[in-house]
Amino acid sequence: MSKTITVVIIFITLFEAVYAQKGDKSISAGPFLSLPSRGYGYNFNYSSGKGLEINGQSNFTNRSSKLIQSQLSFFSPYAGIKNLTLISLKGGYRYQFGNSGIFTNVLAGILKEFGSDIFNSHFGHGYKTLSFTVGAGKRFIIKKVSFVDTSIEYIDGDGITRTNIKAAISLFRRTKLK
């Protein structure tokens, strides 16, 4: 019986109505786990990373919004190389599929890497590169004005290819919902 109730609750929360309205603005922040897959065509000797991100969102229609995202990521080496820190700033677009709360993101921007000199001599002084992100997720509404966004993102470009699994909670939301 308790398994049935748990499945029903999960099913209901997955299809809970999430209304986005033109003019809504929000700021959210939260942690993420970063799973690197490769870096620059070389063997990549870093373990899973962790980080923190902050997002700004402004809806210009009921389903579309402009995004700005900043991330700070930390990776530890397996052996013999320095720690790696990534800072990124990206802008992009989010599309929400109806009232389901399911969304997709596309972002592009700059990435600055610090703390590693394994590829060339200037890399350790802060290497700047371009980066793009594609992702999908689900928004869960809490008390009509707060939310939690859970998502998975694929990040590539001239930098380190990685997948981020994340959750961000709203810090500020100005909405037209009553």
The residue ranges of every structural domain in the chain are 18-174
Which stretches of 89-174 are DSSP H helices?
Answer: none
* Residue 156 CB contacts under 8 Å (≥ 6 apart), including other chains: 131, 132
Region 51-62 average pLDDT: 93
**CA-to-CA distance for 150 and 127, rounded, in angstroms?**
30
What integer pLDDT is reported at residue 41 of this predicted model?
A: 47
Fold type of domain 18-174? Porin (2.40.160)
What integer pLDDT is reported at residue 104 of this predicted model?
A: 96
Q: Which residue has the higher pLDDT, 9 or 1?
A: 1
Q: Which residue has the higher pLDDT, 114 or 92?
A: 92
What integer pLDDT is reported at residue 78 of this predicted model?
A: 65
Region 91-109 average pLDDT: 93
**CA-to-CA distance for 35 and 78, rounded, in angstroms?**
14
Residue 79 pLDDT class (50, 70, 90 cuts): low
The pTM (predicted TM-score) of the whole model is 0.77
* Residue 150 CB contacts under 8 Å (≥ 6 apart), including other chains: 137, 138, 140, 166, 167
